[in-house]
Every structure is written in C-alpha cells, then in structure tokens.
Chain A
C-alpha cells in the first residue's frame, strides 16, 4: 500500500484550514446571521487560531497522526464552545481513534477515508442529526462516501480528493434548499430554506484545504 499522506502534510492541511477559516470568517458570520446567531465565524476563528498556535509550537510536536488529531480535537473542544466546538472536536477525536492509526506517520488513501468516516460518524453520534437536516453532515457524509469509493477504486490521492471535493460541493449546495431540522437554524422552520448552512460551509473547506495541500505538494 503506497503511503499517500505524511504527518507533515496533515499538519500543513490543518494550518491551511486555520488560514482558510480566517479568510472566510466574514462569510460564515453572514451565513449564520441569516439563519442562526452570527457567531460561527468568530467561534471557528477562535478555535482554529488556538489550533494554529499549538501546531506552530515546536516544543511539543505530535509524534503520530493520532496524536496530531487528538491535539486538534482537545483544542477545539476547549476553545470553541457552541455546537461547533463539540462537533468539530468529535470529528477529530473520533478520527484520531481510528483503528491501527497509533504510531502512524503516514496514511494511505484508505486510512484517510477511514479517519474521515470515523470523524463523520463522531459528529453524527454527538449531534444526533441525520442526512438532509441542513447540517455539517450534509457535506461530511457525501464527501466521505466519495473518498471511500475513490480509495476502493485505487485512485491516487489527488484524484481521490478531486472526487471528494466535488461531492462535498454538491452536498454543500444541497443545503440551500433544505429546511433546517437541527441546531439554531431549525427554529426558523421553513424560513431556513434558501440559505446555505454555515456549519456545512466550514466543513466543506476541510476538503478544499485538504485538496489544496495535496495539490501544492504534487
């Protein structure tokens, strides 16, 4: 099995995601103002800035992929608050607990898919949402499905991530027409229709930054 993604690349991905969150903070705030309470941008910036600080702190580098993800998880859980803290925290915590990940400093496309699957299921277990309820899951599950299919088909990581990103984008756009059934937006009922979900938007960028990291390295 060809190792596809190194620990350094995963770390670079998370740093890129932190930068991306800074760039899209206003967009997240605006999306959340439309159907929620306008705090998603600020909350994600607060969390990912803390993550960036930890990752750049050379005195305690993560020794393996599991440790890296665990650090990210605990940092998000302890700094974000709201629903996003526990949900993104659960994504990284469960991904860190993927079987056979301990000691790994490189992961295959299959392993990456397994990590994302575990993470998405972690989000679902924590938030108790289902597909189609206008949440992060409407991006995470289609993206993970695509990544798993690509890994099974033996695609190279750049191609696998291109397919993943496409599925994530489709999922993101599908949230516009959905009526929110979970979270703050659900109180709007049918009035939540016609707006892109802020949580799904921040989740979508997990995959834009993952693809960008791999493409930058290729």
Chain B
C-alpha cells in the first residue's frame, strides 16, 4: 500500500472492490443479468438467446456503467469485467461465449488498447476449437492520439455496442452485424478532458497529480495522463477545443446528421455535463450539423476522475434506426 493518506472511498478490501461491486450489481439488476464469478462473466438473464448473433464486450473495471450496464435485451449478451483498468483474460471471453452463444456466431466488441486486443486475439485463437463462428469489431474513436492505428476506444464503444446489439436483435447475420458495427465504429470520434486524476483502490492515491488551475486534454479512461496539460478555462472553451478536434477528424460537413454524446468521467456532476452539452449542441447546429439524437450522463468513466468526453457519431438511416431500436439494460432502456 503506497497511500500517503486514507482513501475517501466506500470500499472494504481494495482487492475485493471489483467482486463486491459486481455482486451488488447482479443483485440490484437480477431481473436482467446473471453473474458468474469464476471466471468472471456477467450475462443476460435469458442467455443463451437462440437464433441471433451474440454480442460480447470486455473491458477493465472502473469504467462503469461500461460494460456491465449494457448487458440486456437489444445490446450485450455478456460483459467480461477485468480487474480495475485491466482488460479481461481469454478465459473470461471463452466462458462468455460458452454461456451466451445462440448458434448464429459471436461478435466481440473490442476497444483498441494493447491488453484488450491481445486478450481478445488469444481468446479467438483458443476458441477456434469450438464450433462457434467468431468475429471482432475494433473501437478506436480517440482523436487525441494522432496515429489512427493506436487510437484508444472511448465513448464510441457504447454507441457501437448499441448498434451491434440492435442489429443482432433485428436478425442480421454475423457478417452483417460486423459490417454495420464496424461502420458505426468508423463514423465515431471522441476526445476527453480531465480536471482531476482518479484513485484506483489498489494504488490508494491519484494516479497523477493535476496542479490547481490545470487540466489534462486528451485523456484516456484508465487514469493515465493525457496528451497535454493546459490552464483551466470555461466549459464553452473546453467544448470548442474538443469539438474542433472531433469535427475536423470526422470531416463533419453542414447538413450531416449526428448523435452527440457527453459522458462524464465519474467525478463530474450532471449539472456540468449539461453545461457542456448546451454548448456542444449549439456549436454543432451553428455548423449546420443536425443533432438527431443525444446522450448525456456517465456512460464511460474512469472511477472518480473529474472531467468529460465528447463523442460524435455520424448517423445514416440504418444507424439511426438501430440506435432507436428497443433496448432494456440496467443503463439504457427504451
């Protein structure tokens, strides 16, 4: 333990934080999900659902509600929660596949991090012995990383998972689910800003120190520092900074339709998130962009990090239809 001062956290043993939380989650949402503990997998209550493509996503814990909050009808069949900020093991993916596949193939939604990619690759190699058709879709929406091949997956993951789940429910084949999910992934961009670091239970202190009056621009979702540190400024100025990068990379043009999302990083109140959204929406409209749908709240977080990320998904008729399709999960319900 390297903590200089006691953690201000509602936990028991730091080593059990993930397991304790998942047990509570499973109890709280027992009508929708079921938890298997070894290896750790959270699945739809009614899994395996036969006759549709199975959608699975894994990620480290600490990003709640990603991915556990998205397990349910119309979205994920299973989530594989890793340790805090640690991608899940191949065993977890295999257990998820075994518990949920419904005979029409399985698609893994993978966020582009070294660990996420390596473990899902290994899972797919190990699963080759099973008679299950497997595919994966990579989410890499973070424009803060200039090199496109190394871009991290951020809030775009939620949107891609929703599209994949809806497509699977609509009876798309594995190939079609992959195609439309990959298209959503290709059409989404994000960028985030942190106003504080976060405190992982095992570390016991903030991962990095942000001096008063500064913010980290281009942060990921693991408490890692961002690309650059700037002086704090108004919410509107931050939105302009983030949207400029996102819109330029997406090559957003007047007349195009989008879904605009603001996710908090875990430690910023809704009031501030709507201040961010207010300017984001107006900026997009001022550019002639049509904001067809929106999502504001904590959807992909980094424990208790203060800050927010802006995500813009370019919509077409099919993506909009899949976004609007019914969903019934602990986090998204319509």
Which residues on A are within 8 Å of B, measured CB to CB? 26, 29-30, 33, 35-39, 41-43, 46, 77-87, 89, 126-127, 182-189, 191
Are A83 and B224 in touch, CB under 8 angstroms? no
Among B1-53, those with CB < 8 Å from A are: 2, 39
Chain A residues within an 8 Å CB radius of B218: 187
A36 to B223 alpha-carbon distance, docked (Å): 8
Flag whether B118 is at the interface (Cβ < 8 A).
yes
Among B55-96, those with CB < 8 Å from A are: 60, 82-91
Name A87's closest neighbour in chain B (CB-CB): B118
Name A135's closest neighbour in chain B (CB-CB): B114
A107 to B70 alpha-carbon distance, docked (Å): 51
Name the residue among B82, B86, B88, B121 with the largest chain A CB count within 10 angstroms.
Answer: B86
Contacts known (A77-B122, A183-B114); A36 close to B2, Cβ less than 8 A? no
Are A184 and B222 in touch, CB under 8 angstroms? yes
Are A85 and B203 in touch, CB under 8 angstroms? no
Are B224 and A187 in touch, CB under 8 angstroms? yes
Could you list some 18 contacts between A and B, CB below 8 A? A26-B2, A30-B2, A35-B224, A36-B222, A36-B224, A38-B202, A78-B89, A79-B89, A80-B89, A82-B82, A82-B87, A84-B115, A86-B90, A126-B118, A127-B114, A182-B114, A185-B224, A186-B150
Flag whether B119 is at the interface (Cβ < 8 A).
yes
Are B83 and A81 in touch, CB under 8 angstroms? yes
B interface majority secondary structure? loop
Chain A residues within an 8 Å CB radius of B152: 187
A34 to B90 alpha-carbon distance, docked (Å): 28
Distance to closest chain B CB from A129 (angstroms): 9
Set A35, A38, A42, A86: member contacting B122, Cβ < 8 A: A86
Distance to closest chain A CB from B127 (angstroms): 13
A81 to B82 alpha-carbon distance, docked (Å): 7
A185 to B113 alpha-carbon distance, docked (Å): 11
Set A30, A33, A41, A83: member contacting B114, Cβ < 8 A: A83
Contacts known (A78-B90, A127-B114); A37 close to B222, Cβ less than 8 A? yes
A218 to B94 alpha-carbon distance, docked (Å): 45
Contact string, B210-225, partner A, CB cutoff 8 A, digits 1/0?
0000000010101111
Contacts known (A33-B203, A78-B89); A86 close to B83, Cβ less than 8 A? no
A26 to B1 alpha-carbon distance, docked (Å): 7
A72 to B126 alpha-carbon distance, docked (Å): 17
Contacts known (A33-B208, A39-B84); A189 close to B227, Cβ less than 8 A? yes
A47 to B225 alpha-carbon distance, docked (Å): 26
Are B119 and A86 in touch, CB under 8 angstroms? yes
Flag whether B332 is at the interface (Cβ < 8 A).
no
